[in-house]
Amino acid sequence: MVKKTVNSILVTGFTTIILAVFLSPFLYMIFTSLKTQAQQSVPSSPIWPAAYPTYVIPSTVKGTFTLKVSKSGPLLDQTVDVSQFAGKTVDVYTVPVGPNGSGKQLALLMGFQKGSIFLDPANPTADPIVWNGGFFKTLPRDWSFSPAWGNYAEMWKDINYPVVLWNTFQYAVWTTIGVLVSCILVAYGFSRFRFPGRDLLFMVLISVLFLPIFVTVIPTFAFWTQLTDFLTKHGMPNFGVGTWWPLIIPSFFGNPYDVFLLRQYFMTLPRELDEAAMIDGAGPLNILWSVIIPQSYPVIVAVTVFHIVYAWNDYFGPLIYLTNNRTAYPVSVALATFNGMFGTRPELIQAGALVTLAFPLLLFFLAQRFFVQGIVITGVEK
């Protein structure tokens, strides 16, 4: 009994560690998306979204003081007119000026390489305090948890997110419809009909999986470019380069990976169901619609999830065909452009990536049961 308990604790602990390591980039993305630009510029800032304390110098402060400050080495006289700082917001640091070197919250007036001049927020009318213990930016700050939710609103506006999200949604939906219609029909034919050369054709189809996509990029793009020139020259509507059609139309001609998944699942369904439907007078399409598809929801959901995630993340295709039409950019291309424009604002970049990730993640959780069932059953022989 003790041995089982120890083994359970070890397995649970090891799994927890692996999960924490796996989720650490995701947590970093969340934390970074909620940080302010000011926090990003402070090397010693905590990993979580936080803000350091500040202090507004009251208008009642007055007086001019001459203090001994170590700017870059020896002590030098530094004149400070405190009234010049009235109404300004300054940073607050924990300065070791108390008894026994204890820290005290002081507002920075002037900072130098080896010394600084501070004001006590608890007694702003008192004389400024000099600290000659080093560079002021090495002093600790009293950080407090402060998420910057405004990063998401700023990103949403700057990237015109509703438009690119709608473009991506249309691309995912239309290509998913095309993949389901074409792949279900092809897989049904390979799994249920006997015709000469069926196995050879299926092997040829599967062999396409080993063909790198970049091999077909140039000839495919050349075809759509010539089609675009032809349509433009003859005054016809363009459905070539610059539109979504070069990405949507090919999805209606099947996908070898999805055909393979569907065909393997269809082969697990008993043929007696088809024969019973034939006795009732059903034709091939009626059998597909009334018998095969209702029994195949798990694999259909799996294929749907696979393709929606693929379309959602597709960057190369839209980049090639939509370069001259920025209004049609999907979220993948728009994010890449946004990252180039706001390279110094990692909080906005991570906010955009996190919002983009939300939909596929939600889709997977909603369809998880069907998704896993469809993947498992396609690997089971009839």
In a domain, 336, yes or no: yes
DSSP for 129-151 reads EEE-SS-GGGS----EE---THH
Whether residues 223 and 85 share a domain: the answer is: no
In a domain, 193, yes or no: yes
pLDDT along the chain (382 residues), means of 10: 74 83 85 89 86 90 88 86 91 84 87 90 89 88 90 89 91 94 92 86 86 85 88 81 90 90 88 84 86 87 89 90 88 87 85 87 76 54 44
Whether residues 287 and 208 share a domain: the answer is: yes
Q: What is the pLDDT of residue 176?
A: 94
Closest among 131, 85, 83, 134 to 113, alpha carbons compared:
134
Indicate the helix (H) or strand (E) that contains 375.
helix 368-377
Q: What is the pLDDT of residue 374?
A: 54
Contact indicator for 186, 251 with CB cutoff of 8 Å: no
Closest among 138, 139, 141 to 46, alpha carbons compared:
141
Contact indicator for 292, 305 with CB cutoff of 8 Å: no
Contact indicator for 307, 183 with CB cutoff of 8 Å: no
Q: Beta-carbon neighbour count of residue 23 at 10 Å? A: 11
- C-alpha atoms less than 13 angstroms from C-alpha of 7 in its C-beta half-sphere: 4
Range of the domain at 79: 53-142
In a domain, 196, yes or no: yes
Contacts of 166 (CB under 8 A, 6+ apart): none
Q: What is the pLDDT of residue 382?
A: 42
Which SS3 state, helix, strand or coil, does residue 177 take? helix
Among 85, 116, 142, residue at a domain's last position: 142
Whether residues 271 and 189 share a domain: the answer is: yes
Q: What is the pLDDT of residue 180?
A: 94
Whether residues 199 and 164 share a domain: the answer is: yes
Total domains in the chain come to 3
